Structure formats: C-alpha cells, structure tokens
C-alpha cells in the first residue's frame, strides 16, 4: 500500500544536482542535498561515481553545505566550497581518498573560484573592505555600540542579504596550493568577478563595472585580461547581463551567455561567440525565438546550477533552452545550426558534455520524478539511470500525473499549462480545483517535479497551473506582453485557462475553486480576488499590493516598477490603477496572506497594507508572518517554516473549499 504526498515529504526528497565530469571522463562528481529535520537546515554532500561500474561513494559528511565542485586539470584533486555558518571557504580533497583540507581562511570567505590550468594554483574572488589587504582580519563590530547605516545610493539592500556592506568590493586573488598563500590580483575600488579562464592559463575573463554609482547602470562589462601584463581587451560593454564564459578547446573562441536591455528583464537569454582571431562577436542564437537558459520554477531542487554553454573538441556547443514547458539540452554549430539534443516533456536542470559531443551526464526531472543523474547517449537517445536516491519515495508514494493543456487567447496568443486530478480521484466524483500562479513573471512552470502541486493533489484537490503571457519559454513578444499591463491580458489568460478546464473536465466542482501564488503570483491572486468572485478561497504569498509604495521599499522597486509597469512616480495614476489595493472593497473571497518578515524583494509592508485595509473593511482575511525568512521561503527557506507554510495553505483551503 502506498502513501500520499504530505508536507513532511519534503524531508524524504533528495536533490541530485551539479554533475561534473572528471578529465578522464571515466568518473564524475555530483551533489546530493537533503533537508535536515533535526538541525532544521540543509545538508549538501559531495558524491563520486565510477561511470562504467556505477559505483557510488559519498565523499563528504557532516552538518554542512558543499557547492561548486571542480576537478583539478589532472584529475588528482577536487576543489569545492564548504559553508559552515555564515562564511564559505575553499577546500581540497585528494580524488583517491583522504580528508578534505581547508585551503583558505579568508575573513569574508570565498565567493567563487576557477582552477588554473597549471593545477598549482586556484583563482578566486573574495569580499574585501577598502584599505585592507586581502588576508587582513577586518575590525570586529562592537554590538554594544552599533553604527548608523548611512544610505547614499538606491541599490543599498538586497533580498537574502539585507543591508549591503559598505565600502567593500569583490576582488580577484590567487591561492598557491603548496603554500596556501593568497595573493591579491585586483585592488581597485570596484567589484570584480571571474567569468572564465583560457585552457593555456594566460587569459582571464573578468567582469567589472568601473563606475562609482551603479544605481542606474545595468551592465557589467566583460574584459579579456592578460594574466601576466593585466592588459585588457573589451569583450562586451552593452547594457544587460553577460557572463559565464567558456573557451573552446583550442582557445580561439569564447562563448558566453547574456541578455541585453531591449525588453529590460523580459529579454530572452542568448549565446554569444567571440572570435579571438578576427575580433568579431556574434549572437549565435539571434534568430532563435525562445530563451537560452533554465527559467523553470520549482521547490525540489536545491542550488542546482548548470554551465551556460559547453564546448566539444570539434568546436560545437551545448546549452539549455526553456521551451514550451520543457528545459532541454540543445546543440549548436558555429555556423548557427541549432537542434534539440534531449527529449521533450522533462526538465534538464544540470549537464556535463563529453569532449566528443556524443554523450552527456544530465540531471533530469519530470512532473512525477523528482530528479536523478543519467548517462545519456546523444546520438542514439539511449540513457542509463545512474542514481536512485528517490526510488524509495517513488515506490511508496501515490502521485498525480499532470495532463498538458493548450488553449487560445482572445488576441492571438496560445497558452500552455497543465491540469492535475486529485491523487485519490474516483471517476464520477466532483472535486475542488486550485489554480496556481507562478512568480516572476518572467519564469515558467515546467515539466518538472513540484512538491506543492503534488501535496494539493494528495489533499483531494485538482490543480491547474498555466504559463500566461509574461512567462518565459515562448516567443519574445509573448514574454514582453505583460509589461505595462499587469492585471490585463495576463489575468485574462489565467481565467481563460480556468474556463477551458471547466469546459473539458467534468470532475471539477465549479462551486469550489481556489487560487494561490507567490511574488508575481501573489500580485495576481490579489488582483483576481478584487476582480472576480469565482474563487471561494485564496492564499496570497510574498505579494505586491501597492505599486506606489513598492517603488520605494523593494530592493529592486525603483527600476523594476519602471521596467514592468512602464510608469514611475510621475504617473501615480497608472501605478494605482494596477495596484490590487485599489480594488480591496470588491474582495468577497476569503483571503489568507502569507509573508516573510525579511523579504526585501516584496517587503512585508505590502502584506500589512492589504491585511489592515481588508480587515478594516470587515472582509474575511487572515495574516501569517514568517520570521527569519526572505523572498525564497517556499524554495530554500528554513525547513520547519516551509512545512508550516504548507500547513497554512492546505488548512485555509480545507476550511473554505
């Protein structure tokens, strides 16, 4: 007899991420992350696998989080970051056994690193206070006499970080393996980041913006830097976000990812190629009308990261593409031919390519499969599952299989989505339906495992989730169509999806409809209950209710509001028109408001305004605050509070549906 998904199933699920091939291509590393119920945190450990035999070995243990594993060029050592407490340091481990050795003890830890191809040193970035050497101990703050924080810029805080350290910049340094000596490479009062290194070790790709005030600067130029002379060649200096550079095996070409500012943060991601011989740069995917990269939302994978692009020894390339609910691996040539390399209906959230380009390691999930590591033959399509960490959960748990749906909009778009039957579905019975709305808005629901959806289905609800205009994974015109029109066509897309579901699935009880979503999905929940009475219960999470105040209180508010609403404080009429708070008097749906107290992205005052307004009007409303939590509570938050959040959601729907 199998069980249904519960809130506590979060502790059973194991996240398998970050596959990294060894130079010999006969072994690999990956990370397994679990929620630790006893310590109420996350443990991420390093695992090793022999590809031929499939033999697995756990390499790290303890109450810690491992990230960014990387083999030395000769494969004899492995470097990785270890986070214990607030700081993370760089560690080394012999690939043939032994204890991990701490390589750095920097006051502010290590942000990132890259192996030097010589294998005798490692490049890294660390945060340094102006006027101090990179290895100096910074003065300790006396908590008895806290200092005032003098704000002189608009970019002075960030979600998950809080108030940003002042007069501190990320600098590049190099550490010698033999002596553990750390030597500064940059020291100018600007933040630097490592984006790539050539195979001959002579050239770095460095990102640095040499302006004193970046409040209205949305670019980080990339430079090719000669390691010895520090001479620079500009790689790109356009507005937008660019980085994660990879040199071809012959060092002639440099591939990197990025998106310009044509449609602000709604712009598709692309792959760029720079030819070091001709000095020409091209946008390889310019004619490709879906975004390069993984834009899928979910709540199961932890700290999953993948290369933006990987080269083969024949100078072909591989990268991820978000397309119509899938995240697939794609293959491209320098001539611009682009083809899908992995199957449909799944989420490839990590990958490593063999040098010949015919084979890949991939971490893959789908709506009824939390994710594991696979060995994939790209030429034949055959794959071998290498790990089975979630096998017991799958064998003992009844899941609901989402059904893909497609429907037209009034103005010519096509919307994709999914509908799930209750996990205990019996033909002929009627069931309530809950509509979920994703955040962003420039993300997408995908063919990936989503614990929250499965939990709702296990509770006896149908679940509808769609990708309305504004979602990534579709055309540039589709993702841009939401800007300046929040609550317009996007709201109609969602309601059209509901109408489609009601017309095509007779098991839905139209009198018991629920609605929930977070961030942009929270905005849409607030908007919907102010514009329709069709929903009998709603839960809004980390939401926006008032664009006028959001403009000033969010860490991104002053520019995000302009980018997304196409209006600023000189046009408060438009901001107020698109603010759900304006329509509070229309709300008849019982509304539960969930919000994190340390959310700097959508600050809790957005929830406070909505709650007090509705409460004062005599509406059916409740408010739950989550301490020590930021905007990412539902995905990476404190485990006990993630469980409590799910309890609040399901409890509200049980009460009213």
Burial of 593 (0-12, 13-18, 19+ CB in 10 A): buried
Q: Which of 365, 400, 471, 519 is catalytic?
A: 519
Question: CA gyration radius for the chain?
Answer: 25
Catalytic residue at 475?
no
Residues 577 and 581: their CA atoms lie apart, in Å, by 9
* Helical pair 451-458 and 639-656, crossing angle rounded to 10 deg: 40
Q: Quote the CA–CA distance of 533 and 537 in Å, as a whole number.
A: 10
- Where does 473-590 have alpha helices with state H? 476-480, 489-504, 520-529, 547-553, 557-565, 572-577
β partners of residue 205: 196, 224
Reduce the DSSP state of residue 561 to 3 states and report it.
Answer: helix
d(CA 9, CA 393): 8
417, 408 Cβ separation under 8 angstroms: no
Q: Which long-range contacts (CB under 8 A, 24 or more apart) does 401-404 make?
A: 401/367, 401/368, 402/367, 402/453, 402/463, 404/325, 404/345
Residue 353 CB-half CA count within 13 A: 28
What is the enclosing helix (H) or strand (E) of 395?
helix 391-395
* φ, ψ (nearest 5 deg) of residue 193: -140, 145
Please identify which of the residues 438, 596, 631, 634 carries the catalytic annotation: 631
Phi, psi of 248 (to 5 degrees): -65, 165
- Under DSSP, the state recorded for 9 is G
Torsional sign, CA 452, 453, 455, 459? positive
Q: Is 270 a catalytic residue?
A: no
Which positions are catalytic?
519, 631
């Amino acid at each position: 007899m199998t069980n249904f998904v519960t809130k506590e199933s979060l502790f059973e699920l194991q996240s398998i991420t970050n596959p990294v091939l060894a130079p010999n291509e006969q072994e690999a590393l990956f990370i397994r992350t679990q929620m630790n119920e006893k310590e109420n945190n996350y443990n991420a450990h390093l695992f090793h696998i022999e590809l031929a035999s499939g033999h697995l070995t756990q390499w790290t243990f303890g109450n810690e989080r491992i990230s960014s594993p990387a083999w030395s060029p000769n494969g004899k050592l492995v470097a990785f970051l270890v986070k214990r407490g607030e700081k993370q340091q760089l560690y080394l481990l012999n690939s043939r056994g032994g204890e991990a050795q701490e390589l750095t003890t920097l006051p502010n830890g290590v942000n990132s690193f890259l192996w030097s191809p010589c294998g005798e040193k490692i490049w890294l970035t660390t945060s340094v206070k102006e006027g101090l050497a990179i290895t100096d101990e910074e003065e300790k703050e006396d908590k008895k006499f806290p200092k005032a924080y003098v704000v002189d810029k608009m970019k002075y805080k960030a979600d998950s970080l809080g108030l940003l350290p002042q007069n501190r910049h990320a600098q590049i340094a190099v550490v010698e393996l033999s002596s553990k000596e750390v030597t500064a490479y940059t020291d100018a009062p600007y933040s630097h980041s490592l984006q790539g290194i050539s195979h001959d070790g002579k050239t770095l790709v460095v990102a640095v913006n040499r302006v004193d005030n970046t409040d209205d600067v949305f670019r980080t130029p990339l430079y090719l830097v000669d390691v010895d002379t520090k001479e620079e060649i500009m790689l790109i200096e356009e507005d937008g976000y660019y980085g994660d550079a990879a040199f071809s095996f012959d060092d002639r070409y440099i591939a990197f990812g990025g998106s310009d500012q044509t449609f602000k943060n709604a712009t598709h991601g692309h792959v760029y190629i720079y030819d070091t011989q001709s000095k020409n740069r091209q946008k390889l995917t310019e004619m490709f009308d879906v975004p390069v990269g993984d834009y899928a939302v979910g709540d199961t994978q932890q700290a999953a990261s993948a290369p933006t692009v990987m080269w083969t020894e024949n100078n072909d390339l591989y990268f991820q593409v978000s397309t119509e609910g899938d995240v697939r691996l794609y293959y491209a040539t320098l001539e611009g031919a682009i083809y899908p390399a992995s199957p449909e209906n799944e989420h490839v959230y990590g990958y490593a390519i063999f040098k010949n380009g015919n084979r890949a390691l991939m971490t893959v999930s789908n709506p009824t499969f939390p994710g594991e590591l696979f060995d994939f033959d790209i030429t034949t399509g055959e794959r071998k599952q290498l790990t089975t960490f979630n096998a017991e959960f799958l064998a003992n748990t009844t899941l609901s299989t989402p059904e893909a749906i497609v429907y037209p909009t009034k103005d010519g778009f096509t919307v994709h989505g999914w509908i799930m039957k209750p996990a205990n579905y019996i033909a002929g019975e009627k069931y309530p339906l809950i509509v979920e709305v994703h955040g962003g808005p420039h993300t997408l629901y995908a063919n990936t495992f989503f614990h929250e959806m499965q939990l709702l289905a296990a509770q006896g609800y149908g679940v509808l989730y769609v990708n309305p205009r504004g979602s990534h994974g579709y055309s540039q015109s589709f993702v841009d169509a939401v800007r300046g029109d929040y609550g317009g066509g996007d709201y109609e897309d969602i309601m059209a999806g509901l109408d489609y579901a009601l017309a095509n699935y007779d098991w839905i009880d139209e009198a018991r409809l629920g609605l929930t979503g977070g961030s942009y999905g929270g905005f849409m929940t607030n908007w919907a209950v102010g514009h329709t009475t069709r929903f009998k219960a709603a839960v809004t999470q980390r939401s926006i209710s008032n664009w006028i105040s959001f403009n000033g209180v969010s860490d991104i508010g002053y520019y995000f509001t302009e980018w997304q609403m196409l209006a600023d404080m000189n046009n408060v009429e438009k901001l107020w028109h698109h603010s759900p708070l304006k329509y509070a008097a229309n709300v008849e749906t019982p509304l539960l408001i969930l919000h994190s107290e340390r959310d700097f992205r959508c600050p809790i005052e957005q929830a406070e305004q909505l709650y007090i307004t509705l409460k004062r009007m005599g509406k059916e409303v409740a408010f739950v605050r989550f301490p020590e939590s930021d905007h990412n509570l539902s995905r990476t938050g404190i485990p006990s509070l993630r469980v409590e959040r799910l309890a609040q959601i399901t409890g509200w729907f049980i009460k009213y549906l």
